[in-house]
Structure 1
Amino acid sequence: MTESEFILKDGFEYPNEGKVAWKAPSNIALVKYWGKKPNQIPANPSISFTLNACATTTSLAFQKLDKKSDTFSFDLFFEGKPKEDFTPKIITFFERIERYVPFLKGYHFIIETSNSFPHSSGIASSASGMAALALCLLSIEKLANPTLGEDYLKMKASFLARLGSGSACRSIEGDLIQWGAYEPISKSSDLYGIRYPFRVDSVFKNYHDTILLVHKGQKTVSSTVGHDLMHDHPFAQQRFQQAHHNLDKLKEVFEKGNLNEFIKIVESEALTLHAMMMTSLPNFVLMKPNTLEIINRIWAFRKKSKTHVCFTLDAGANVHVLYPESEKKEVFQFIQDELVAFCENGHYICDRIGHGAKQLKG
């Protein structure tokens, strides 16, 4: 679909007031999106596991104004408290999507949102947060036009979410989501994420992700700044080519259930992401000493145990430990025995592949 097909037509009667709510998951990229063009267009395609437990719950109460405002009218509460530092990001999001959601200035909104995981800690909270908010807005559109199909609404929600946070477009559906124009997938798009269309072996179903919270504080550099550093990066083009190449290889990996090749690709992608940050100008080291200790212990345990445990990283210090359902008992015991000690206050999150966002009672 093209951008113009997401523009809302006039002539619908919108409700005077109401409340809608959605729970949207985070996601963890296997092939990383790093670097973007204007208008939240990715510089390379990516693919991610949708998570289950790591999610944002957002409710959106709306009250029609007496007359359309010149500005956006909303109050925002994060985990029950006003959160003023979120306001500029919401305004930017609303400015980007107003063309596609023209009723925005006709309402006063009360946005109440909360995460099941620490904010700004390397887990994609902006992804789940923007996905949940986009879905709430689409629920209002659906109230005005009940004939809209679910496929269209999911696609538009992914399109809108991307304009708030690029990776948010991968948090609408599950369990394996591809985003970015990629020639072997005819329906792929830079504008929204789609469900991975090729065969996926059952070994990748119910895959586990134990997230080790090495550092729960604010990241040293935001993802936005990190993406911008790719514009003049000396290795940018090689990185973008690598992402395409890894997606090519994953097709056979997923089809045949080749866990050894899966590990090579996923860990290489994680380390490449951090290498790009370390070699940018200015440069950043996002890992912590405990991040490296965890990685080394995973490598040693995998060699000794012959299991298929592996790691990936987002743009932060936390480690996502990935492993198949069949090896859950042995790997989780290893995590408890050897890795939890390197987490901040011993904190970690047990998660697994999920199946996308869910609407809640408003």
Structure 2
Amino acid sequence: MDAHQFLVNSSLQFIEKASFTWQTPSNIALVKYWGKSEPQIPKNASISFTLNNCHTITTIEFEKIEKSDSVQFDMYFEGKKNEDFKPKIAKFFQRIAEYCPYIFEYKMIIHSQNSFPHSSGIASSASGLSAIAMCLTSLEQQLIPALNSDFVTKKASFLARLGSGSASRSIEGPLVVWGNHPEIEGSSDLFAVPFPHTIHSIFENYQDVILLVDKGEKQVSSTVGHELMHNHPFAENRFQQANENLTKLSKILQNGDIKNFINLVESEALTLHAMMLTSNPYFILMKPNTLEIIQKIWKYRSENQSNICFTLDAGANVHVLFPENEKQNVLQFIENELASFCHKNEYICDSVGFGAKKLENIKVR
């Protein structure tokens, strides 16, 4: 399937008003992507756990207008009009305009809220932009009733990707692959797909506690970080390594080899930050408390024969991953020994989820 498949080729049955509400999750990559080309094409495939509790709920109200030369929309976040978010969303609408020409025919009122504090240091672009994409494709289904649900899901991921690459992985769950990979059937650079194999029971309902080490704005944005991979001396080897790691992880997820899961996932996290350390200009997103937490996780794992491990996104926060059967002990360990390294002792308990949910008879205000 190429991008032309997502163009609107059918006549549209315009309606005067519509409103849709979607809840879409954040996600955490196990094999990372770092480096992309336009338009939002990853340099390597990635795989992520879809989260459950960390999500965005978005309502878009559509009202038919005379066709405009620009997209007409207002943005409200947590109940208040928000002009700061508008430029990013406007850029997103520009990118998707050829695939969603109907956005010039409607005034949109967007209401959005997160289940986690916006200032918590958790990237909300994945959940936020995937929610907008789901609302848009819901409208498209109304305008073209013949569309099937499988196509709509793919198009939502395709659109979300054009706003934020990782947003493509927030439509489905519990494990999602984005990027063309020879051993993942149906995988594509254009949209994300569910991991196609049956996973071992040890990885079902996997737990993720997000330790909020730093709630400040990152010194280097992910967009800039991705761009620095273009001339990175280790870039090509990294892209090859990531694709090889996805092959390994695919087998691990199926056979339940949790020790190798731990090794691969932690290595991927540290390699991501190694790319930042060796960029030019170079930068560090980890904080001293990030390293303290990692050391304590390693110590706990060794002393308790635990299967706890960590991963990192492009920031200082630590995702503590562990199987459900260790939940009670690990949560006690986090409260007793790790919470003090978090900003105001804050952390979020989460687990693997199953993707976007349409919310009926609910509107965000």
What letter is aligned with 2:11?
G
Aligned equivalents of 2:235, 2:274: Cα separation in 1? 11
Which whole-Å deviations, capped at 9, do the CAs of 1:232-260 have from their partners, x for residues lacking one? 01110111011011111112211110110
What letter is aligned with 1:353?
V
| Residues 121 and 219, structure 1, Cα contact 8 Å, conserved in 2 | no
Query: Following TM superposition, by how much is the alpha carbon of 1:119 offset from its aligned partner in structure 2, in angstroms?
Result: 2.9
Aligned equivalents of 1:290, 1:154: Cα separation in 2? 39
SS in 1 for 2:173: coil
2:139 — aligned with what?
A: 140
Q: Does residue 1:156 correspond to 2:166, yes or no?
A: no
2:317 — aligned with what?
A: 318
1:60 — aligned with what?
A: 60
| Residues 121 and 318, structure 1, Cα contact 8 Å, conserved in 2 | no
Aligned equivalents of 2:122, 2:273: Cα separation in 1? 15
RMSD: 1.1
Query: Following TM superposition, by how much is the alpha carbon of 1:199 offset from its aligned partner in structure 2, in angstroms?
Result: 2.6
2:24 — aligned with what?
A: 24
> Given the two structures, how large is their TM-score scaled by the length of structure 1?
0.98
Aligned equivalents of 1:127, 1:276: Cα separation in 2? 22
Aligned equivalents of 2:185, 2:325: Cα separation in 1? 33
1:15 — aligned with what?
A: 15
Query: Following TM superposition, by how much is the alpha carbon of 1:186 offset from its aligned partner in structure 2, in angstroms?
Result: 3.2
Aligned equivalents of 2:153, 2:143: Cα separation in 1? 16
**More deviation in 211-220 or 286-295?**
211-220
1:92 — aligned with what?
A: 91
Aligned equivalents of 2:315, 2:128: Cα separation in 1? 18
Aligned equivalents of 1:215, 1:118: Cα separation in 2? 13
| Residues 76 and 111, structure 1, Cα contact 8 Å, conserved in 2 | yes
* Structure 2 gaps, min length 5: none
SS in 2 for 1:85: coil
2:359 — aligned with what?
A: 360
Aligned equivalents of 2:151, 2:115: Cα separation in 1? 28
2:278 — aligned with what?
A: 279
Aligned equivalents of 1:188, 1:122: Cα separation in 2? 30
2:36 — aligned with what?
A: 36
Query: Following TM superposition, by how much is the alpha carbon of 1:159 offset from its aligned partner in structure 2, in angstroms?
Result: 0.3
**More deviation in 161-170 or 112-121?**
112-121
**More deviation in 102-111 or 1-10?**
1-10
SS in 1 for 2:63: strand
* Structure 1 gaps, min length 5: none
Which whole-Å deviations, capped at 9, do the CAs of 1:128-152 have from their partners, x for residues lacking one? 1110000000010111222321111
Query: Following TM superposition, by how much is the alpha carbon of 1:10 offset from its aligned partner in structure 2, in angstroms?
Result: 3.8
Query: Following TM superposition, by how much is the alpha carbon of 1:330 offset from its aligned partner in structure 2, in angstroms?
Result: 1.1
What letter is aligned with 2:142?
L
What letter is aligned with 1:6?
F
Query: Following TM superposition, by how much is the alpha carbon of 1:4 offset from its aligned partner in structure 2, in angstroms?
Result: 1.0
2:250 — aligned with what?
A: 251
Q: Aligned in 2, Cα 1:121/1:272: closer, same or farther, shift over 3 Å?
A: farther
Aligned equivalents of 1:127, 1:99: Cα separation in 2? 22
Aligned equivalents of 1:185, 1:358: Cα separation in 2? 25
Aligned equivalents of 1:127, 1:345: Cα separation in 2? 25
| Residues 122 and 314, structure 1, Cα contact 8 Å, conserved in 2 | no
1:213 — aligned with what?
A: 212
| Residues 10 and 144, structure 2, Cα contact 8 Å, conserved in 1 | no
1:262 — aligned with what?
A: 261
**More deviation in 4-13 or 149-158?**
4-13
2:233 — aligned with what?
A: 234
Aligned equivalents of 1:283, 1:88: Cα separation in 2? 28
| Residues 27 and 124, structure 1, Cα contact 8 Å, conserved in 2 | no
Spell out the pairing of 1:166-181 with structure 2 (5 A cutoff). 166-181=165-180
| Residues 120 and 219, structure 1, Cα contact 8 Å, conserved in 2 | no
Q: Does residue 1:196 correspond to 2:195, yes or no?
A: yes
| Residues 201 and 256, structure 1, Cα contact 8 Å, conserved in 2 | yes
What letter is aligned with 1:166?
G
2:186 — aligned with what?
A: 187
Aligned equivalents of 1:242, 1:229: Cα separation in 2? 18
Which whole-Å deviations, capped at 9, do the CAs of 1:294-347 have from their partners, x for residues lacking one? 000000000000010000000011000000011111111111110011110111
Query: Following TM superposition, by how much is the alpha carbon of 1:120 offset from its aligned partner in structure 2, in angstroms?
Result: 6.0
**More deviation in 126-135 or 5-14?**
5-14
What letter is aligned with 2:283?
F
2:122 — aligned with what?
A: 123
Which whole-Å deviations, capped at 9, do the CAs of 1:149-196 have from their partners, x for residues lacking one? 111111100000000000000000000000101111231100000000
Query: Following TM superposition, by how much is the alpha carbon of 1:121 offset from its aligned partner in structure 2, in angstroms?
Result: 4.8
Query: Following TM superposition, by how much is the alpha carbon of 1:122 offset from its aligned partner in structure 2, in angstroms?
Result: 4.4
Aligned equivalents of 2:117, 2:226: Cα separation in 1? 22
SS in 2 for 1:84: coil
What letter is aligned with 2:59?
S
**More deviation in 11-20 or 33-42?**
11-20
| Residues 11 and 144, structure 2, Cα contact 8 Å, conserved in 1 | no
Aligned equivalents of 2:173, 2:295: Cα separation in 1? 31
SS in 1 for 2:286: coil
Q: Does residue 1:305 correspond to 2:304, yes or no?
A: yes
Query: Following TM superposition, by how much is the alpha carbon of 1:118 offset from its aligned partner in structure 2, in angstroms?
Result: 3.1
